Amino acid sequence: MKKKLLVTDLPCSEYEGKRVFVRVDFNVPVNGGKITEDYRIRRTIPTIDYLTRCGARVILASHMGRPKGRMIEDLSMAPVAERLNEFLEIKVRFPGAVVGRKVENASKKLKNGEVMLLENLRYHNEEAENDADFSRKLASLADIYVNEAFGTSHRAHASTYGMTAHFEKKLAGLMVGNEIKFLSRLIKRPKKPYLVIVGGMKIKDKMGALKNIIKKADRVLVGGGVAYTFLAARGVSVGKCSVEKEMICWAREALETYKEKILLPVDHVMAEAAGGRKMRVVVTGAEIPDDMTAFDIGPKTVEKFTSHIKGEGTVFWNGPMGFFEVDDFSNGTSAIARSFALATWRGATTVLGGGDSVASLKKSGVKFSEATHVSTGGGACFEFLGGVDLPGISILSDS
């Protein structure tokens, strides 16, 4: 990939008095109106600081959750505006809308060094649809475009792709630039051995990238919901576990081609339902009874997987090993997280693909500083490492 033009590649004089649209990824967890994890917000502060110090009039925009065009109060960006007030030590304007006369007037009233945060972009279906008129309305608010939302750069949405057609200069924020630089190095020359840990739910969402990642990896540990499709492809009974039937042929082919690389669970922590009390651990094999659902990898799998996470080479982890939000099913993910942190301490290059992986790391009591690199993107990070073109990155101006 060609080097992209960074926000700091332009002198301050280019920003003074200009309205700068910064697409950020503030899709953070909120409980009772309070933000419970602000890592993604903190990572954008250097870019916002640079622009405000240069005298830019900064317009921030993000999505939160999946409101599907509805104005859901629990998915409002209002709590984010409050947190930004604390970090930036200035009053962040919050018009409570995305487009329209109210927002247009607010953007025109911004003074040099001031910041405005728009309401949730996905309150409008046109955002995910990459609607041309919606893209034009967003673009009309600013003079310069900056992408500081690595986590959504794999989506060709209005704010990450469509609106950029209206700008001469499309810049990468400092955090996005850092993600590109670090992950590009990992693609070209990963320290060997290269271990990949894959969890989460769907193979279909990961297939294109997973193909390329498996080729480059020396070992691939597969857990979480993804594992049950692989197990089914191997002819193992998976009970009530969700299986992507359309992906079984591909999974079978991958297992045949890379049988020495791919390791699957050999036991599971199961229950009749996620909140059910009737739980048991199968330690004798990978088979799951017809009336049961697996919600975590079992103790033998934990032992098997962690034995491969060593203090050398590269360890890339994307996706939890189970339903980690429930304590009864969090042991597998926690064990991987602890081994992951230990590998860092012993000298391995450890990379955490964002999303649920970040949440699971925190729940396990492992600090972000105990990883070499914590990406702000889950799917975006995985696809980038898999060599998949990210629309929100490729559209940016080359350096």
Of 18, 169, 202, 338, the active-site residue reads 202
Closest-CA residue to 59 (of 190, 159, 158, 127): 159
Dist. CA 279–CA 293, nearest whole Å: 10
Give yes or no for a contact between 144 and 18, defined as CB atoms under 8 angstroms apart.
Answer: yes
Give yes or no for a contact between 223 and 265, defined as CB atoms under 8 angstroms apart.
Answer: yes
Dist. CA 278–CA 333, nearest whole Å: 21
Closest-CA residue to 154 (of 220, 232, 209, 72): 209
Annotated active-site residue 355? The verdict is yes
Annotated active-site residue 313? The verdict is no
- Type of residue numbered 18: K
Of 200, 223, 355, 378, the active-site residue reads 355
Closest-CA residue to 48 (of 2, 117, 139): 117
368: left (phi over 0), alpha (psi -120 to 50) or beta: alpha
How many residues make up the chain in this entry? 399
Annotated active-site residue 202? The verdict is yes
Token reading at 270: 């199961």
For residue 204, count other CB atoms closer than 10 A to its CB: 13
For residue 347, count other CB atoms closer than 10 A to its CB: 12
Give yes or no for a contact between 148 and 376, defined as CB atoms under 8 angstroms apart.
Answer: no
Give yes or no for a contact between 322 and 297, defined as CB atoms under 8 angstroms apart.
Answer: yes
Annotated active-site residue 346? The verdict is no
Closest-CA residue to 371 (of 360, 386, 383): 360
Of 40, 57, 122, 219, the active-site residue reads 40
Give yes or no for a contact between 77 and 118, defined as CB atoms under 8 angstroms apart.
Answer: yes
Closest-CA residue to 225 (of 262, 199, 249): 199
Of 173, 313, 319, 379, the active-site residue reads 379
H/E segment holding residue 351: strand 349-352
- The Cα-based distances of 328 to 221, 274, 325 in angstroms read 22, 9, 9
- The Cα-based distances of 193 to 19, 27, 102, 310, 382 in angstroms read 47, 34, 55, 9, 18
Burial class (CB in 10 A: 0-12, 13-18, 19+), 89: exposed
- Catalytic residues, by residue number, are 40, 202, 355, 379
